[in-house]
Amino acid sequence: MGKFVKRIYLFATVAKLIAYFLIYQFIFTIAGQYIAYLLYKTAVEPVTYNEFVLQATAQATQYKANGMATGILLSSLIMIAHLLVFKYVRINKGFLHEVKRNVLIFSTLFIGSMMVLFNIVAVWLGLGDYNGEIIETMLTSGAGIISMAIIAPILEELLFRGAIQGFLMHIFKNPWVGIVIASLLFGVIHGNPIQIFYATCIGIGFGWIYYRTGSLLPAIVGHIFNNSLAVASNMLYGPDSTEQAINSTSADITLAMVAAIFTAILAYIINKIQPAVPKPWHEASEVL
């Protein structure tokens, strides 16, 4: 297969994977909402579906939250299975042991410092957040908490790093092409201005860690760490807690500078303790 044909096939495959992701999410979210309606209709009051959707009572809201969260959780699990069954991503038996413990620790700290830095920058930029209410609703459900803190990070790393970035790193000589394109797609798929910026920036960190270590494990652990902290912050202090805490004061500027320096130092350490770039990347699909 010629290089040009491979690239056409690659982008078609990337588009197909993103389409599957969106279709699964749409189908299961709608199904979850409708099952929630049937349960509400049976257990609480016999209303029409439209009346249920418009209901603003605490009980109806909780049913809708559980339905949406369960649907998203199931769609994520189905998409993970899709990626693994059709071998877009490969997970070997030594997956949990293929990265040294010190690399895993420093990679997680690296992701954490990037999280602090770009959270501050995103708030300073004043980017809109249109998903705050949805996130708050999701976090009233156990399925929503599990989905956002654990399952979504696993899926997103398998899809955007393992499959999409993995394809790109097999095609383009410069690994940064794959890292940046996959990160841009990762940001855009969130469909929310502040998340587009934040997810793209932190996605570059995930992508670099994947490239540098040859394993998805550090990126998955760092992503779970990032999302779990965000979930805990939202549950404890509310969806606007980060924005309220950051107001461009000298303390915030100092924190941003410290986070930037810490990120650079950790990148240097990772480069030192992980001197060789593995090839091929363990989980990257070879279906091309």
Task: Give the number of other Cβ atoms within 10 Å of residue 63's Cβ.
Answer: 24
Partner residues linked to 89 by β-bridges: 284
Residue 252, both tokens: 């915030």
Q: Does an H or E element contain 102, and which?
A: helix 101-124
Higher pLDDT, 275 or 13: 13
pLDDT of residue 269: 95
**pLDDT(275) > 50:** yes
Tell me the average pLDDT across 136-165. 92
DSSP string, 112-155: HHHHHHHHHHHHHTT---S-HHHHHHHTTSHHHHHIIIIIHHHH
Task: Answer yes or no: are the C-beta atoms of 207 and 162 closer than 8 Å.
Answer: no
- Side chain identity, residue 228: S
User: Over the stretch 102-142, which tens digit does the pLDDT of each residue have?
Assistant: 999 999 999 999 998 998 888 888 777 777 677 777 888 88
Q: Residue 192 — very low, low, confident or very high, per pLDDT cuts 50/70/90?
A: confident
Q: Residue 92 — very low, low, confident or very high, per pLDDT cuts 50/70/90?
A: confident
pLDDT of residue 251: 67
Tell me the average pLDDT across 40-58. 91
Tell me the average pLDDT across 166-171. 83
**pLDDT(164) > 50:** yes
Higher pLDDT, 238 or 74: 74
User: Over the stretch 203-257, which tens digit does the pLDDT of each residue have?
Assistant: 999 999 999 988 899 999 999 998 998 888 877 776 655 555 555 566 678 888 9
pLDDT of residue 282: 53
- Whole-number percent of the chain with pLDDT over 90: 54
Query: To the nearest whole number, what is the mean pLDDT of the chain?
Result: 86
**pLDDT(90) > 70:** yes
3-state secondary structure of 89: strand
pLDDT of residue 126: 79
Task: Give the number of other Cβ atoms within 10 Å of residue 220's Cβ.
Answer: 23
Partner residues linked to 284 by β-bridges: 89
pLDDT of residue 242: 53
Q: Residue 149 — very low, low, confident or very high, per pLDDT cuts 50/70/90?
A: very high
Burial degree of 35 (CB within 10 A; 0-12, 13-18, 19+): middle
pLDDT of residue 288: 43
Model pTM above 0.75: yes
Of 243, 219, 221, 247, which is closest to residue 233 (Cα–Cα)? 243
Domain chopping of the chain, boundaries: 3-273
Distance CA 126, CA 237 (A): 20
Task: Answer yes or no: are the C-beta atoms of 72 and 144 closer than 8 Å.
Answer: yes
- Whole-number percent of the chain with pLDDT over 70: 89
Q: Which of 12-16, 32-36, 203-207, 234-238 has the lowest mean pLDDT?
A: 234-238
Distance CA 118, CA 273 (A): 25
Tell me the average pLDDT across 137-159. 92
Task: Give the number of other Cβ atoms within 10 Å of residue 179's Cβ.
Answer: 24
CA 81 to chain centre: 17
